[in-house]
Copies of this chain bind each other. A is one copy, B any other.
């Protein structure tokens, strides 16, 4: 069955996009690059992806051990570099970040044990490629260890849930030690110490294999076929920033990217890189995908790294009324409004990106968004808004009937 899935993916890559649009292509970036004259592409690319510190974004060369895995296992591998200005008093603080996007490995009707094991085996060479590339902080996609069963109306998918120190964490801890790598593992969590409730959780594993802490998804959608609000509630872990060996990071899980206040507080707590593991589909969000994450990076002067799964997930039976076509397109936004191109719409992929964290403070100083933010005005207005007797500030034209 895995072979069949791979064949379908290869077919889609060149002929049909996931959403049934009329022309096949691997990413918007390549579609433009392959079809525009070079000087037109250069200008379009300048407008669409910004310019990192006034220059086109550089690609970086990865070791042959990393690229060989990409060739052998057929996943997209791209690598870029964000620069910052040189400072007099601080050395550059360059961190190498990796993002993994992937489809599931077996049909959703296979035995649960086999499904999870097959996903582990599918991501193993991608993690090895990240490790060989010298990635410092690696993030997997939302609920990477299972299909998106939480969008159906069938609670059997709760069986995939694990405690924070469960088998997915143990699987990744060995890689964290082997490659001296911080790994963010977004899972479906069962909280054994609090009545066995379910959470949507990211586990942060330190570069020595230790569990630094967790963050639970702050905002849960109530939308269309996405039934996940019946599986778990809004997170109770606040907006933690994890101080790791390679920088201060935070995790804004999926739907949280639609909430500018969520993104704001991670920034006020000191995060310099936000990881945004996501599962989202074309009809819903593809037009938003290049907007919200870049806005968060700009407004909060930090890097924002978004991951979306790929492939189609089918849930036979009456538990859902549609297939889910995930569009991948993982990418990273920088505080200077530049961004990397997206990974493939269709294929598994690893995005490796060097980022100088000094760019964050440089843009805080340049733009002064925090200094000019008038938080006292908004804290007061929000507190007033919350009261049932709140009356909006409306000035009515007295000449209206």
Contact = CB atoms under 8 A, between A and B. Distances in A.
Given A47-B287, A299-B258, A372 B240 contact: no
A210 interface: yes
Interface stretch (A36-44, A98-106, A165-173, A311-319): A36-44
Interface in A272-287: 285-287
Nearest to A270: B392
Contacts of A111: none
Contacts of A258: 298-299, 367, 369
Nearest to A294: B291
Interface of A: 17, 21-23, 25, 28, 31-32, 35-37, 39-40, 42-44, 46-51, 204, 206, 208, 210, 212-213, 218-224, 234, 238-245, 248, 255, 258-261, 263-265, 268-270, 285-288, 290-292, 294-295, 298-299, 336-338, 366-369, 371-379, 381-383, 385-386, 392-400
B21 A40 contact: no
B260 A381 contact: no
A270 B396 CA distance: 12
Contacts of A234: 372, 374
9 contacts: A22-B42, A28-B47, A31-B43, A221-B372, A223-B367, A258-B298, A285-B337, A295-B295, A382-B382
A248 B234 CA distance: 32
B50 A287 contact: yes
A298 B28 CA distance: 22
Contacts of A218: 374, 377
Contacts of A219: 372-374
Given A223-B368, A371-B222, A381-B239, A23 B40 contact: yes
A125 to B, nearest CB: 27
Q: How many copies does the complex hold?
A: 2
Contacts of A206: 397, 399
A392 B222 contact: no
A255 B394 CA distance: 22
Nearest to A234: B374
A285 B373 CA distance: 18
A395 B241 contact: yes
A309 B218 CA distance: 40
Among A221, A368, A373, A393, find the residue whose CB has the most chain B CB atoms closer than 10 A.
A393
Contact of A242 (B221, B285, B395): B395
Contacts of A393: 238-241, 269
A229 to B, nearest CB: 9
Contacts of A244: 397, 400
Query: Which are the 4 A-B pairs with shortest beta-carbon distances?
Result: A50-B287, A260-B260, A295-B295, A379-B382
A219 B377 CA distance: 11
B240 A395 contact: yes
A236 to B, nearest CB: 10
Nearest to A269: B392
A35 B31 contact: no
Contact of A23 (B39, B259, B268, B397): B39
B295 A394 contact: no
Nearest to A399: B208
Contact of A40 (B31, B50, B379): B31
Given A337-B291, A368-B221, A372-B259, A243 B396 contact: yes
